[in-house]
Amino acid sequence: MQKANDDIRAMIAQHRLRQWEVADVVGISDSRFTVWLRTPLNDDRKKRVLAAIKQLTAKTSV
């Protein structure tokens, strides 16, 4: 069975990030982020998470 938000989970793993790092940039707790990932993200949350991943990967590539 496919988990919700597999694309987000894969992106986090691909960039060797931790979920708590993404949650911190989004501005929520790591436990709240885990709850978010249990069901498909709405457009606003998905944009926030993708922006956080982009921000974190920009830091690591410099």
Asked, for residue 31, whether it belongs to a domain, the answer is yes
11-57 pLDDT, tens digit per residue, is 999 999 999 999 999 999 999 999 999 999 999 999 999 999 999 99
Asked, for residue 53, whether it belongs to a domain, the answer is yes
| pTM assigned to the model | 0.89
Domain harbouring 40, CATH code: 1.10.260
Beta strands in the chain (DSSP E): none
Domain interval for residue 56: 6-60
Instruction: Write down the pLDDT at residue 61.
Output: 61
Asked, for residue 41, whether it belongs to a domain, the answer is yes
CB 2 within 8 A of CB 8: no
Token look-up 């979920």 returns 19
CB 33 within 8 A of CB 22: yes
Count of domains for the chain: 1
